[in-house]
């Protein structure tokens, strides 16, 4: 919590404000990039339109994501500033359940930020964090940004990469390299969402605990069944369903007029 802010429990937007505070706190710690705060605002707008809950298409994508991570030979969770701020302990749990490695990979890259993110992950229980300093010694030429610097034990050799809150270029390059890319992105229209193999259109603060829970449930399933679950997902269809849900909600809201209570709105 930043010093100047106390969020009243009864505030109708208390949860959303708490998430903002967490981001600001991590911004002050040098974990979140300036642009991470802007990116979060864009995410919030889509979350509002989606009803701030995990939808059916998102849940379907989470199952496919869990199955893809559990069947991968070299699964990797790629961590940026926002992901570390909002879901560090779930990242560590997911890594333990699926055997995925954790690699820090940043768009706005600096050694200091990578180290600050590593500290947050280690405080959350991570024992090994890839991609820090000289460890990011490999290059993926297809990627234009600083995200091209990767760890040869991680993203470079990964066959499945979880990329929460991503920019489209890297997703495109990783898919082009034949990797399964699992994105968490509240904006179903973003390039990342459209290009990923599996897109979970949900807030990272809800999607990550759900992904951990479903991975725990599926971990004992046989590999063939898991491969079937992963391959059955039609990503374009689930994205279409997410867009349709927004459309339906907006249509209902428009029919009700310009003002309705938050409680009423959450039921739509
Ligand atoms: O930490 P760095 O340096 O790697 O930088 C991270 C950011 C997020 C700043 C960088 O990757 C970036 O600029 O991303 P974009 O292009 O703004 O894309 C971020 C996407 O994440 C947008 O489509 C947002 O809608 C979405 N988003 C934002 N907050 C959330 C979210 N999706 C899920 N959960 C959120 N809380």
Say what the pLDDT of residue 12 is.
Answer: 67
23-50 pLDDT per residue, tens: 999 999 999 999 999 999 999 999 999 9
Say what the pLDDT of residue 5 is.
Answer: 64
Contact (CB, 8 A) for 75 and 100:
yes
Closest ligand 1 atom to Cα of 19? 36
202-245 pLDDT per residue, tens: 999 999 999 999 999 999 999 999 999 999 999 999 999 999 99
Kindly report the protein residue whose alpha carbon is nearest to atom 24 of ligand 1.
43
Contacts of 130 (CB under 8 A, 6+ apart): 76, 101, 102, 103, 104, 151, 153, 154
Kindly report the protein residue whose alpha carbon is nearest to atom 8 of ligand 1.
36
42-78 pLDDT per residue, tens: 999 999 999 999 999 999 999 999 999 999 999 999 9
CA distance 89 to 254: 39
Say what the pLDDT of residue 253 is.
Answer: 81
Q: How confident is the model at residue 6 (pLDDT cuts 50, 70, 90)?
A: confident
Ligand 1 in reach of 190 Cβ (< 6 A): yes
Which helix (H) or strand (E) is 150 found in, with range?
Answer: strand 149-150
For residues 125-136, give the mean pLDDT. Answer: 97
Ligand 1 in reach of 33 Cβ (< 6 A): yes
Q: How confident is the model at residue 167 (pLDDT cuts 50, 70, 90)?
A: confident
Closest ligand 1 atom to Cα of 109? 3
Structure tokens, 176:
């082009």
Among 93, 240, 234, 236, which Cα is nearest to 162's? 93
Which DSSP string do the residues of 59-100 spell out, in sequence order? Answer: HHHHHHHHHHHHH-SSEEEEE-HHHHHHHHHHHHHHHHHH--
Ligand 1 in reach of 85 Cβ (< 6 A): no
Q: What is the CA radius of gyration of the chain?
A: 18
* pLDDT score of 95 more than 80: yes
Closest ligand 1 atom to Cα of 192? 23
How far does the centroid of ligand 1 lie from the alpha carbon of residue 222, in Å?
34
Say what the pLDDT of residue 61 is.
Answer: 98
Q: How confident is the model at residue 15 (pLDDT cuts 50, 70, 90)?
A: confident
Q: Does the model's pTM come out above 0.85?
A: yes
Ligand 1 in reach of 36 Cβ (< 6 A): yes
Say what the pLDDT of residue 63 is.
Answer: 98
Ligand 1 in reach of 81 Cβ (< 6 A): yes
Say what the pLDDT of residue 25 is.
Answer: 97
Ligand 1 in reach of 103 Cβ (< 6 A): no
* pLDDT score of 4 more than 60: no
Distances (CA, A) of 97 to 5, 37, 91: 36, 30, 10
Q: How confident is the model at residue 96 (pLDDT cuts 50, 70, 90)?
A: very high
How far does the centroid of ligand 1 lie from the alpha carbon of residue 223, in Å?
32
């Amino acid at each position: 919590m930043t010093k100047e802010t106390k969020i009243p429990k009864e505030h109708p937007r208390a949860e959303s404000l708490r998430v903002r505070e967490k981001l600001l706190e991590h911004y002050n710690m040098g974990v979140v990039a300036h642009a991470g705060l802007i990116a979060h605002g864009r995410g919030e707008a889509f979350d509002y339109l989606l009803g701030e809950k995990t939808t059916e298409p998102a849940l379907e994508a989470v199952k496919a994501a869990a199955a893809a991570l559990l069947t991968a030979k070299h699964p990797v969770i790629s961590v940026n500033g926002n992901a570390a701020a909002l879901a560090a302990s779930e990242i560590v749990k997911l890594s333990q359940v699926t055997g995925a490695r954790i690699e820090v990979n940043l768009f706005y890259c600096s050694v200091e930020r990578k180290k600050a993110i590593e500290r947050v992950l280690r405080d959350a229980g991570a024992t090994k964090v890839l991609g820090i300093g000289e460890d990011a010694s490999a290059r993926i030429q297809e990627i234009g940004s600083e995200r091209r610097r990767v760890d040869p034990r991680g993203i470079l050799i990964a066959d499945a990469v979880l990329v929460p809150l991503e920019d489209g270029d890297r997703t495109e390059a990783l898919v082009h390299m034949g990797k399964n890319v699992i994105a968490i992105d509240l904006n179903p229209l973003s390039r990342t969402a459209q290009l990923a193999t599996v897109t979970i259109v949900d807030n990272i603060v809800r999607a990550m605990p759900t992904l951990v829970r479903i991975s725990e449930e599926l971990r004992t399933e046989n590999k063939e069944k898991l491969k079937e679950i992963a391959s059955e997902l039609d990503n374009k269809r689930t994205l279409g369903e997410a867009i349709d849900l927004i459309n339906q909600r907006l249509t209902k809201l428009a029919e009700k007029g310009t003002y309705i209570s938050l409680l009423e709105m959450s039921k739509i």
